[in-house]
A and B are shown apart, each in its own frame.
Chain A
Amino acid sequence: GQNIDQPTEMTATEGAIVQINCTYQTSGFNGLFWYQQHAGEAPTFLSYNVLDGLEEKGRFSSFLSRSKGYSYLLLKELQMKDSASYLCAVRSSLRGATNKLIFGTGTLLAVQP
């Protein structure tokens, strides 16, 4: 089966750092994606990890541990515009399913002044 867990909501302060965790149990694993989704808008791609370790892209970093089925998204120097839902998505390596992403329900981040 496929299962992806993220916290439902988080709150952080402008200028601070926040870490959003994601754990997954999937029948096959072929990469993990993070997307940002503002209310009423489409998800936008943030990062991709397929090997263990940290990928850094400006204020955003994403970490993956395949042995633990664990990833996190780290947001630094938080800005008010970072208030959004952050979706963790796993790409399955199952035969016939390599084109599919399985999404978590998202973590709604509220950045406060």
Chain B
Amino acid sequence: DAMVIQNPRYQVTQFGKPVTLSCSQTLNHNVMYWYQQKSSQAPKLLFHYYDKDFNNEADTPDNFQSRRPNTSFCFLDIRSPGLGDAAMYLCATRDPADTQYFGPGTRLTVL
């Protein structure tokens, strides 16, 4: 049974066209994360939520926004995707033992 679900698995958008990636979890974890991972690179943390408290990384561009309407769902909004934003976007949750569980990721292509 999938615990962290990301939709879609593959997303194609056009340069400058807003896109939203979604993540949901059945674990009821308080903490959720969004990472960006480019080919052969480490996952890079964009932001995380502790409940509704939003924590933005200092180097996350303003082009990236996030919403968490409830415990189960979290969204990543890219307002004006550029070619450099093509990457795998990983959503993760954190359990009380501090282990992070990742979703399958959404691979974003920007044309």
Enumerate chain A interface residues (CB-CB to B < 8 A): 4, 31, 33, 35, 40-45, 48, 87, 91, 96, 99-106, 108
**A-B residue pair count with CB separations less than 8 angstroms:** 49
> How many Å lie between the Cα of A103 and that of B40 in the bound state?
12
Chain B residues near A44: list those with CB within 8 A. Answer: 102
Q: Is B108 an interface residue (CB 8 A)?
A: no
Enumerate chain B interface residues (CB-CB to A < 8 A): 31, 40-45, 48, 50, 55, 88, 90, 94, 97-105, 107
Contact among B41, B97, B104 with A41 in the assembled complex (CB-CB below 8 Å): B104
Contact among B41, B42, B102 with A42 in the assembled complex (CB-CB below 8 Å): B102
> How many Å lie between the Cα of A101 and that of B102 in the bound state?
13
Pairs A–B under 8 Å by Cβ, sample size 20: A33-B99, A33-B100, A35-B102, A42-B90, A42-B102, A42-B104, A43-B90, A43-B102, A44-B102, A45-B101, A48-B98, A48-B99, A87-B42, A99-B48, A99-B94, A101-B45, A101-B100, A102-B45, A105-B40, A106-B40
